[in-house]
Structure 1
């Protein structure tokens, strides 16, 4: 199968104009094969993308002392240094820095007071108001794109296009600006920017710069390049949507390897449901005769459980 067939480019313009069924048919084909596609006409202004890129790059080029002043607290928001994260089963930590934000909630919000993981206020570097503005505007714009995308996903599964709306009242959306320095030359064989993995949540929307380095595992087990395509986002489903769809859709392995000799920057958004949203395959129009492969689970409990599982594997 060619890369073009395995990683198709889907025009989201029809869905943004309300024709979710037509887009859903294309999504169904892509997600049942590779779990990946590109989307064009996603609605995020190019000026906003470039501004967010430039502001993020300026932050990552700042002195480490300034960046470490924003290291994560309870809500896992802020700056994460090199070698902080290790994918399940990986030999080495990921060779990247990233800055993560989420839905802005005050310390006295009921969800925060209840101790829900991934909930709370964002933190921001002092003296960088334009970085904060760009990240928040991008967070909002990519969330709108995610809403249109999920309406098409719903149609692709034979359910009402607004099915996911009530599940995303206060979503567990996390947006990360991710900076990859060039791999150390002496460790190119066993070092990844992000080691092979599947995403834990529902859908991921990724903008990547011109550097390249993203690979997706093909149906034959070989790695297929997902190169930058101007004007597009890369979309993939995570394990939660794979579960929700009763494995009709494929959550696929992918990795980042930055052998370009220069820095790479991407902006990844994990667009996941409310913490208490119940994920039950029986709600997604199972084909006649198909039994649910998974019991109901809350989205937040599932995602946090997968994160904790990975952390245990890292330290075992």
Structure 2
């Protein structure tokens, strides 16, 4: 079986295309969500100079010394700031124990939408909507915030496409994302000096996992490493096309659609060349939805052949269980279906 990530031009949704052109985009997205769960998009409209500013900011932050970067760490419950190598284990977010807990070697820096971004909400729970921690790197905040705004726009364009593809009211997703838990994670797959990661055994850049929310907008280097689980249980290399962003569905959408749309397992295993990890960068914008929104299976996705697979849960409860696994090392006991998919895969 040949594994393929469909490439879709979403220009009709970004530039007010005709109803016919939009319908064709929605049809292609529906097929990709049912068959793969990963999509490449062009026509997203993010200017080249904004992406260049983002990568410049990412490079300058990760070039700092490890001890300086560690000054921007936050407690695991606060999904902001710096995460050093071997401080997380994404597989635990699925309830899967790895041989060495907290062994993913990537380093990351997270920002997100704080309570101040949603002035129409009188009170939002903390630390879900925590303020950001900004490093003392010239221009970093403005460059990163500019891209964050563009990625948020693309995420909302994708959910508008989702509404059409699923035959939902146009405002379905807008009603559950007006104070969305939006987080952006900048990842660096390299070994900073001073780390204790060894280049032996089966080195894990980022363990197998599904994303947690509604949709993820991913910018990534065209460097090998990202692998996506196919329906046949095989792991397949994925690299973005020129000027394309990668899109994948999260668990929230998988639950809403009763798994008719796929929240696809993926991992990162950058190659080791001549004893050195080839550096890889990625930036993932997670559009997760309102913390108090309830995920209940869409009635249109339940029938005699597709019984309801999930009990209702709030987005906040679901995200908290996932983060307790990945960041705090607590096995997620509520992810039985996801963990079974990992264990059934051809893991290596």
Q: Which TM-score applies when normalising by structure 2?
A: 0.82
What is the DSSP-based 3-state SS (H/G/I as helix, E as strand, rest coil) of the residue aligned with 2:252?
helix
Give the aligned partner of residue 121 of structure 1.
Answer: 131
**1:33-72, aligned counterparts within 5 Å?**
33-72=35-74
Q: Shift of residue 15 of structure 1? A: 1.7
Residues of 1 paired with 2:287 and 2:167: CA distance? 21
Q: Does 1:94 align with 2:110?
A: no
Aligned to 1:13: 11
Q: Is the 8 A contact 2:294 2:314 kept in 1?
A: yes
SS in 1 for 2:199: helix
8 Å Cα contact 1:236/1:251 also seen in 2: yes
Secondary structure of the corresponding residue to residue 99 of structure 2: coil
Using the TM superposition, give the Cα deviation of residue 213 of structure 1 relative to its aligned residue in structure 2, in angstroms.
1.0
Offset of residue 176 of structure 1 = 0.9
* Partner of residue 114 from structure 2, selected from 100, 104, 109: 104
What is the TM-score with the length of structure 1 in the denominator?
Answer: 0.89
Considering only aligned residues, what root-mean-square deviation do their CA atoms show, in Å? Answer: 2.5
User: Is the Cα–Cα contact under 8 Å of residues 302 and 308 in structure 2 kept in the other structure?
Assistant: no
In 2: Cα distance, 1:45 partner to 1:157 partner: 29
Alignment deviations for residues 222-280 of structure 1 (CA, whole Å, 9 cap, x no partner): 11111131101111111111001111111111111111542111101111101111211
SS for the counterpart of 2:271 is coil
1:74-115 CA deviation, whole Å, 9 max, x = no partner? 6321111111101223334111110000003359x8989764
CA shift in 2, pair 1:112/1:66, >3 Å: farther
Q: Is the 8 A contact 1:217 1:253 kept in 2?
A: yes
CA distance in 2, matches of 1:210, 1:274: 32
Out of 279, 282, 286, the residue aligned to residue 301 of structure 2 is 286
Do residues 304 (structure 1) and 320 (structure 2) align? yes
Query: Is the 1:182–1:259 Cα contact (8 Å) retained in structure 2?
Result: no
SS at match of 2:45: coil
How many aligned residue pairs are there? 309
1:112–1:82 CA distance, 2 compared to 1 (3 A): farther
Residue 180 of structure 2: SS of its match in structure 1? coil
Task: For 1:241 and 1:185, locate their aligned partners in 2 and report how far apart those are by CA, in whole Å.
Answer: 37
Shift of 1:309: 4.6
SS of structure 2 residue aligned to 1:272: strand
CA distance in 2, matches of 1:129, 1:118: 27
SS in 2 for 1:313: coil
Q: Note the C-alpha offset of 1:296.
A: 2.2
For the Cα contact (< 8 Å) 1:117–1:304, is it kept in 2? no
Q: 1:110 to 1:41 in 2, by over 3 A?
A: closer
Identify unmatched segments of 5+ residues in structure 1. Answer: none
